Amino acid sequence: MKAPQYDYGQIDALVSTQDGWLWIDGGQIDYMARLDLNANPPTLGTPKALPELYERPCSFWHRFWGNCLLAQGVYSQALDRVLITGHPATFWGRSSLTTLEIIAGKAKEMGSIARGSSLVYPVYDVPRLRGILLRGIKDELFFYDGITVTTILSGESARSRNGITGWYIDSTHSGRTFVTNAGRFRDPFLREIKAGPLAIAIAVPKTLAGSWLSLFQKVDKEPLWGITRQSLFVEIQGAFKPVATVREGAFLEGPAGIEQSSDGSIIFSVKDKTTGRSTDYRLARSSATGQCGIRLKARRPISLTP
């Protein structure tokens, strides 16, 4: 079977859904095909392209000359379906954004959500909560379980004092999912998305307004750690408490340089801005057999040196 792309396109991924379909994730064009694994030999039906939607408003004239970029589908493992958001081509290229769900090979428009809006983008799959997070056109955050859409963040609740919104999703090895705007605005927030669904606030210091934030946790019974450009935090009773900081003129390298090993320990580096000298640190649970360098205490934060 063929799932043709344009000149430079290729197949990026294949996903077999539970309802007997194969999603063909193309670099430019996505397809769905009926898949029968019970047949001998297994059979694959003729691939059908996902509905023709474009990332931006597209006129028939621009479509004819190939100047419109097709929107790409997103597979939700939690919902076992593909979602796609985009604009159908219109004669004058007017905006007509819509979100479609592909279920059992058939496309249907997603039902209306908060305030009568149906204009959302799938942004993050949350199998643990059996749903997917969606971003609204006004920067809202919604949770969708396949039937009901629940507002997690309204545009107003995510807006900072300067009137700008902006957030991103982060998660830990343990499966906890968070939404935060750390590093972007003067009013940083961190909220955990839990079953319900609910958004539970974790108190964070104002210093997160000027730094990236990386979250780490191996299992639920262990503490949640937060690492920023200048500090190391631990969650205590719903608030981030600093347990280590770096002196002025130094910083924690990351977040790409921070690693968490299979045993849950976290390795990070502190670097001097002037000399470029750096020192690696390992954050791990203390034990009777393992060597412990310095015990971290929220009441008495330590200073990390390059």
Query: In what helix (H) or strand (E) does residue 18 lie, and over which residues does it extend?
Result: none
Structure tokens at 277: 């000298």
Mean of pLDDT values over 288-306:
79
Cα–Cα distance between 272 and 305 in angstroms, integer? 8
* pLDDT tens sequence across 198-243: 999 999 998 888 889 999 998 777 889 999 999 999 999 999 999 9
> Please, are residues 174 and 218 in contact by the beta-carbon 8 Å criterion?
yes
Confidence (pLDDT) at 111: 67
| Averaged pLDDT of the chain | 86
Cα–Cα distance between 152 and 204 in angstroms, integer? 19
Structure tokens at 235: 């969650």
Q: Which residues contact 86 (CB under 8 A, 6 or more apart)?
A: 53, 54, 55, 70, 71, 97, 98
**Ramachandran region of residue 284, left (φ > 0), alpha (ψ -120 to 50) or beta?**
beta
Query: Residue 84's CB: how many other CB atoms inside 10 A?
Result: 22
Q: Which pairing describes strands 81-86 and 98-103: parallel, antiparallel, or unpaired?
A: antiparallel
On whether the pTM is more than 0.75, the answer is yes
- With a cut of 70, say whether residue 143 has pLDDT above it: yes
Structure tokens at 5: 């792309």
Q: Of 11-20, 166-175, 179-188, 273-282, where does mean pLDDT reach its minimum?
A: 179-188
Confidence (pLDDT) at 166: 76
